[in-house]
């Protein structure tokens, strides 16, 4: 399949804001290339001795996304959410992205902000990123390892999580995922039942079970995410009786909500967009046991106050507000 690739020339500092904005516009499968130096801490956390040579850090970055331009003879049968009906709609989409970039200029340095359009075969972007996905630590005793990589000399007591994100993505490297992992490891016990809303590649549920949770239930609106989650659970040796997954929107899908169960979970975790966490906070409580926890992340700092208010307005008590970079995570308790 031939895809149309749009690349935004920007800065490393603006990557998170631009990625968030594109997600808000419904654009999925974002690719990021940055010319950012590797810190000594990052170097030690990466299980490689020699890093690829690169130019001196100049804070430049590229954010790319891929669009399938449909025609009358090419129905939207299996895309990843990035499809438009014809060239006119594509031109409008690019115009909308340019307008959004202009708005971002008022709050951050986006650099040049120009957009370059090109054609690419799906094999180029569906698999090329694997070259750069190497084993890395998300905690002193938790290593994320892609299934196609080898890892030697793992110390005793270290959890090694095998992940093939597939098209669903979610490797665990982003600050939002790390915030969730930190929250889970603090509160999980051997009796914990976990519900993971927007499970992606299943990484949070898999780590939760490795840390001792009794069981997990994962949901995602993307069927590709469900496929990736099932495969990742299998490769990590997690049985179906401990980890169930289902596709759908638990906010408004009553059949899915009933399947998940009510007042059944000790912890609910959601690493998704702020604008999804806000309506989710109104319904997730019915799935959580009295006294249970709601851990939310994926919240850009400019949306933090709005999300916090929604969580509190829906009866939760905020226990923790944690931050990494531009991202915020809340740990909230449902009253007894």
* pLDDT tens-digit readout, 232-269: 999 999 999 999 999 999 999 999 999 999 999 999 99
Most confident of 64-68, 100-104, 293-297: 293-297
**Element of type H or E holding 98:** helix 86-104
Nearest to 181 by CA among 144, 228, 232: 144
* Structural domains of the chain in order of their starting residue, each with its CATH number: 2-129 (3.30.70.120), 176-333 (3.40.50.150)
Rounded CA gap, 91 and 79, in Å?
A: 19
Nearest to 219 by CA among 241, 243, 201, 245: 245
Report pTM: 0.72
Rounded CA gap, 84 and 65, in Å?
A: 13
Confidence of residue 314 (pLDDT cuts 50, 70, 90): very high
Rounded CA gap, 197 and 217, in Å?
A: 8
Express each pLDDT in 35-89 by its tens digit: 766 555 555 544 443 444 555 567 899 999 989 888 755 554 444 457 888 889 9
Express each pLDDT in 111-166 by its tens digit: 999 999 998 776 665 666 677 678 888 888 899 898 888 888 888 889 999 988 66
Which residues on adjacent β-strands are paired with residue 197?
A: 219, 270
- Neighbouring residues of 156: CB distance < 8 A, sequence distance ≥ 6: none
């Amino acid at each position: 399949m031939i895809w149309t690739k749009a690349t935004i020339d920007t800065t490393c500092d603006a990557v998170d804001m631009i990625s968030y904005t594109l997600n808000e516009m419904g654009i999925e499968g974002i690719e990021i290339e940055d010319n950012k130096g590797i810190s000594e801490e990052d170097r030690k956390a990466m299980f490689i001795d020699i890093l690829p040579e690169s130019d001196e850090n100049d804070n430049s970055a590229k954010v790319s996304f891929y669009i399938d331009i449909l025609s009358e003879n090419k129905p939207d049968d299996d895309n990843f959410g990035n499809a438009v009906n014809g060239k006119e709609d594509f031109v409008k989409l690019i115009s909308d992205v340019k307008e959004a970039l202009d708005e971002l200029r008022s709050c951050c340095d986006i650099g040049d902000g120009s957009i370059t359009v090109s054609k690419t075969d799906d094999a180029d972007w569906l698999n090329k990123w694997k070259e750069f996905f190497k084993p890395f630590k998300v905690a002193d005793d938790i290593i994320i390892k892609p299934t196609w990589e080898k890892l030697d000399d793992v110390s005793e007591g270290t959890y090694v999580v095998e992940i093939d994100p597939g098209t669903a993505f979610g490797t665990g490297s982003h600050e939002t995922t790390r915030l969730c992992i930190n929250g889970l490891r603090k509160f999980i016990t051997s009796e914990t039942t976990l519900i993971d809303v927007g499970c992606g590649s299943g990484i949070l549920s898999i780590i939760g079970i490795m840390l001792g949770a009794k069981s997990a239930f994962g949901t995602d609106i993307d069927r590709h995410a469900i496929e990736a989650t099932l495969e990742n659970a299998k490769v990590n040796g997690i049985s179906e009786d401990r980890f169930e997954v289902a596709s759908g929107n638990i906010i408004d899908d009553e059949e899915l909500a009933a399947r998940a169960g009510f007042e059944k979970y000790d912890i609910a975790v959601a690493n998704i967009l702020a604008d999804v966490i806000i309506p989710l906070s109104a319904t997730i409580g019915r799935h959580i046991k009295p006294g249970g926890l709601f851990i939310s992340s994926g919240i850009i700092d400019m949306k933090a106050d709005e999300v916090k208010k929604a969580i509190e307005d829906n009866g939760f008590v905020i226990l923790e507000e944690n931050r990494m970079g531009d991202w915020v995570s809340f740990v909230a308790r449902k009253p007894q």
